Amino acid sequence: MVKTKNDAAWEQLFDKYRILQHIEQNGFYEITADAIRQYREPRLMCKFDHKNHLPDIFANHQLSILPISRSAYVIGHFSTFAEVTYKKMKPQAMNIPHDIETIKADDLYSESAVLHFAYHSGMIDDFLGEETRHTVSGRMGAGKFAYDIASHRGHRKHIYVNGAQIEVDGGYEGKTRFAIIEAKKETVKDFNVRQLFYPFKVWKKRITKEVVPIFFTHSNDIFRFFMYTFMDENVFNSYHLVKQKDYVISHQKITVADIVNVAKSIRFVPEPRVPFPQADSFARVIDLLGLLYQGDMSKNEITENYNFDKRQTDYYSNACIYLGLAQKYSEGDEMKIALTDEGRRVMALPYREKYVTLVEKILEHRVFHDVYNEYMRNGQDVSKDFVVERMKQHDLYGIASESTFQRRASTIIGWVKWITDLPE
């Protein structure tokens, strides 16, 4: 697997400053932004929102990095990521006021757009438990504060912060509480606790109201909120999940009959001469299509800025291409991914039409159609052996070994399960 620019730059920095040796001796290493800038801009080198963003040398040695000022960072065996578990629950349906024309339910492809919709539809007030006003967003200085953080080795380090920069995606003030929200426009496995803890520390000093940290994701057209508290406001790792709730936009529902009608009227397409998908979560395919709706991206940009690792970027990009919704092209020494005209058309459709069309894009491939029909016949999960048998009957590109058939079968099962779960 090709190294990212961050991988290469950090390996050079670790070698030049003997960072591993310093950490073994002292438990941590402080590095300046100027030192990092010799190889690449710090804003690109130090923004690890998810665990799989960590450069290989960090991941291999269980290291993480935290800002301590605008010009310095500390590296150590810190535990900085919180896992996110999506519990299955019935989402509450909400509507935006009919007189608002500038926020469109079928054009929520940025973090700011989904947050505006969540606020004006009443989701944020409902989740927080009181009426709020949107008062804060953007970057700001953190001032001075200190805290303890646990290491993977069972030790604690006391960290002093002086003037580091923080960013709040949205701040919402009510009568007794102030919610600070960190938003992600995708399904995630984890997030960097710093994104909630640093703003929590800053606003805890500035106001008398209760400061409520909230993590928020928007994926597959579901708005998911996670409310946290810090059991000890001076300990980074003392976060605790208090409450979780899902919301959706009130819309025309997708029925079993809708899916059955699509399956009955499908026109099959020839198998494309591109890698057969290895991307088990179709919700993540939709996430990537949504990101590409905002603009073309290189594979490196996808890997460094969103919750995809290097392999997943390849797998999910190829899945979008397989469906005819994306394409790749070269720009200089980089490979870029862009939506096709058809991909842009589909992603701009209203909710019901968009998802029914995505079902059609999957089922127009015979092997997916076969497995869907078997699933509907049996009314239960289809065996992987059945899926592999059907795969071998079709001319699937680039699959030869038995182990590859098995891996790709998981994708077919995952996508068919996504289809059958769509009706509400």
Q: Is 269 strand, coil or helix?
A: coil
According to DSSP, the β-strands at 210-219 and 177-184 are parallel
| pLDDT in the model for residue 419 | 96
Domains of the chain in sequence order: 5-77 (no CATH), 83-249 (no CATH), 256-421 (1.10.10.10)
Do residues 336 and 297 touch, judged by C-beta distance below 8 A? Answer: yes
* Residue 72, both tokens: 């310095």
Q: How far separated are the first and last CA of the chain, in Å rounded?
A: 41
The size of the chain, in residues, is 424
* Residue 33, both tokens: 């932004």
| pLDDT in the model for residue 140 | 92
Contacts for 2-7: CB closer than 8 Å, 24+ residues apart: 2/310, 3/56, 4/55, 4/300, 4/303, 4/304, 4/310, 5/40, 5/44, 5/300, 5/304, 6/40, 6/44, 6/45, 6/55, 6/304, 7/55, 7/56, 7/57
What is the spatial distance between Cα 19 and Cα 36, in angstroms, rounded to a whole number? Answer: 12
C-alpha dist (Å) from residue 47 to 53, 83, 255, 304: 8, 18, 42, 8
How would you write the pLDDT of the chain (424 residues) with one tens digit per residue?
567 889 999 999 999 999 999 999 988 999 999 999 999 999 989 989 999 999 999 999 999 999 999 999 999 999 999 999 999 899 999 998 888 999 888 888 889 999 999 999 999 999 999 999 999 999 999 999 999 998 877 778 899 999 999 999 999 999 999 999 999 999 999 999 999 999 999 999 999 999 999 999 999 899 999 999 999 999 999 999 999 999 999 887 899 999 999 999 999 999 999 989 999 999 999 999 999 999 999 988 888 778 888 788 899 999 999 999 999 999 888 889 999 999 999 999 988 999 999 999 999 999 999 999 999 988 777 889 999 999 999 888 888 788 888 889 999 999 999 999 998 7
For residue 234, give the DSSP letter: T
What is the spatial distance between Cα 127 and Cα 279, in angstroms, rounded to a whole number? Answer: 33
* Residue 110, both tokens: 């940025």
Pick from 224, 135, 223, 225: nearest CA to 177: 135
The model's pTM is: 0.89
| pLDDT in the model for residue 1 | 57
